[in-house]
Each structure stands twice: as C-alpha cells, then as structure tokens.
Structure 1
C-alpha cells in the first residue's frame, strides 16, 4: 500500500491537496434562511467541546470501515479503526498523524491543511475565513458545504446535521475529481474528562527507519 493510498483511507481527517477546488470562484452570498442554519451549526459546534461515539467510513471505492471516535476541541480528535484495519488517526491540535500497525507505517500532516480544521478550531466562525458554497435543507436536517477561505486547507467538506435534536451526524470530503469519502457518526455523545493520552500518537518506528521521507 502506498503512502497516497494510506492517506486516502484516512481521508475523513487528512484530505489530499485539491487545487482545483481552491481555484473556484467565490461563493454566492447566502440567503437569510441559509445564514440562519449556518449560525445554528456554528453555535452547536462551538459548544461541542468533548464527545465520543462510533463512525462508519465509506471511501470512494465503496470500501467500508468503522471504529470509535473521540473529539476534544480545540483541535483534538482520535479515530480508532476496528480490526482487521490497522489504522489509527489522531489529531493532537497541531498535526494529524496516521499510523498503520499492520504495515508499520506512520505519516503526519498539519491539522490546518485538512478540512476538519474547520470545526476543530478554537473559535467556530462560519462567517469569517470560511467560504460556504452551499446550504441544503433535508427532511430531517441540513448540510453545509464549506472550504477554507484562507486556502490553507484546499479540500471541500460537507457537514451534515440532524435537525431535532440538532447534532452533527457526519461529513463528506470531496476531491478535485469528484471522488468522496464519507464519515457517518452514530451514538455521538457529549462527555467530559477524556484523557489527554487519547490525543497523543508518536512515531513508533526507530529513528533511523522511515523518518524524513514524507
């Protein structure tokens, strides 16, 4: 498995560079109704300081994996993939690290270069530094498609929310060719006291093996 493939498997956290998306024209102004939904979403995410639950990931090839997720804002998240997958993805607030215990590989990327920085940031502002390209209303919720207006993260992410109760239920990251990786959250529950050790992932390889080749 190549590094590109490993990164694609964890696309929900570490998106590939998408220059074609970054070059799109600025989004049209939102309607008052769309802005109201964006404001609701921002307030909810700002209040979501710690949570845990389960996730199901479907990649562009239709492969399905699942596992446990832990969120501790600002900046921290942990994805523990169920066996037989050997993947573990951790955001420590500065970097997103991807370890594969089966292949004995380790990669790290700046959090600000991934679309998830949009809702893991300290201050959630969907009206500043973020380009919202679409707000879609559904029967039981709504979705918000956004990209980093500063172009530090060149991906596009669609956040999906349930309406009653208001809750984040997943997201989709789409690449320049239209291929998408979808994360669906289940049983996401607010919590407190998540240990700091959950959000630490160090390169387990000896210092002279595989380092400096990212």
Structure 2
C-alpha cells in the first residue's frame, strides 16, 4: 500500500548519483556503518526534487525533511496533491478529489530516512556498484514485505554529512510499482520550522495546501 496511487516511476538508480561533481579515481568501498553515520548526522534537509513516470511525465517540487519523522513533498504549482508526514503518520492528500490516505511512518520505505532510532543494519545492505562514485543502499524488511523496499542512492562528497550526498531513491511497493525521486540543490542541517509540516484538510475541488 506504499505510494500505491500517487506516483509510479521507473528509472536507472545509479544515474541519479552521477549529477554530482565527484572524483573519478577508485576509492575504498563505503560500509553500511558510514551510511548510518550520514543518516545520524542529517537532522534536516531541503532539496528540489524531480519525478518522472513511465510515460515520461515529469513532476517537480520541493522536499523538506526534519527528524524525527517529518517530511514534505511540495509539488509544483497546479499539482493538487501533497505528501507530508507530521512525525507520526505519512499522508497522501489529493485536493482535487478531496481524499486523504494515511500510513504509519514505520510502514513506509521512507522510515530509514525519518527514524534515527532504527538500526539499519537489521534490514539494510550496501549493494555492489561498478562505479566507485556511487553508493547504493537497499532497505527491506523481509518480515513485512507489504512495507515495500527502498534503494537510497548517494554520491561521494566530502562536504556532505559523513562524506555522502543523498541524490535520491527508488522505492518498490507491494504491488511492484517503482517510484524514483531525484534530488538537487541539497542543503543539510538547515533550520526548519515544525509549521512546515502542517496541512489543510482536503476538500473536493480545492487546491489549498
């Protein structure tokens, strides 16, 4: 049930990371401990995001993240949907049809980004990559396949937390629908007010968010 309605995407995961200016020489492999260090050091983040569906349709917007548990996908003007977490639940809001769907954060693949208390070593692994500039981490709970899985894509960048720049991710839900998010203009540990994660209740035919 994760992301069942909002977005369905298919794109090469490794291509997400190569937009960042990184060195091309061979480097030592990144361990899961380094990834966990990045996640622990990232208390907030803002970025622009791009989504591209299987039909080639592109949606853009702004991502705002604050731990613990808060995230907001503010879509471009004219798109009447909002994806937001208030720290406890993740909501998909459709203002055109007046619909609201809710999932506990723990039931979303995004939990690895939002919950700093989770031990990623229990359900995540670093995937092998032929390009040393790219670091891919897959998170998946085999006891709960209905929660889906996520592959985080990083590029090495000394200026980012733990030397890793989050470039985006690919999620796969229980219905095998892929969602690809690509990030740009990332800013880490910037001040973010809790009010950024408030939202208006959807009413049919409105576009108020």
2:207 corresponds to which residue?
Answer: none
- Could you tell me which of 58, 80, 89 is aligned with 2:83? 89
Query: Displacement of 1:172 after TM fit?
Result: 0.1
Query: Which range is displaced more, 180-189 or 99-108?
Result: 99-108
SS in structure 1 of the partner of residue 31 of structure 2: helix
1:113 aligns to what? 107
Task: Write the mapping of 1:50-89 to structure 2, written as runs, cut at 5 A.
Answer: 50-89=44-83
Name segments (4+ residues, structure 1) moved above 4 Å.
Answer: none
Counterparts of 2:157 and 2:197 in 1: how far apart (Å)? 30
Unaligned runs of 5+ in 1: 13-32, 207-214
Q: Which of the numbers 118, 127, 134 marks the counterpart of 2:127?
A: 134
1:65–1:81 contact (8 Å) kept in structure 2: yes
Measure the CA separation in 1 of the matches of 2:145 and 2:86: 18
What 5-or-longer segments of structure 2 have no aligned partner?
Answer: 10-27, 159-163, 205-209
Determine if the alignment matches structure 1 residue 164 to structure 2 residue 161: no
> Residue 15 of structure 1 aligns with which residue?
none
| Counterparts in 2 of 1:175 and 1:60: CA distance versus 1, 3 Å | farther
Deviations 1:114-135 (A, max 9, x none): 100122112253213x143734
TM-score (norm 2): 0.74
| Superposition TM-score, scaled by structure 1 size | 0.73
Give the match's secondary structure for 2:117.
coil
Cα shift readout 1:70-124 (whole Å, capped 9, x = no counterpart): 0101111011000221111111111111112233222211111110012211225
Q: RCO (CA 8 Å, sep 6+): is it higher in 1 or 2?
A: 2
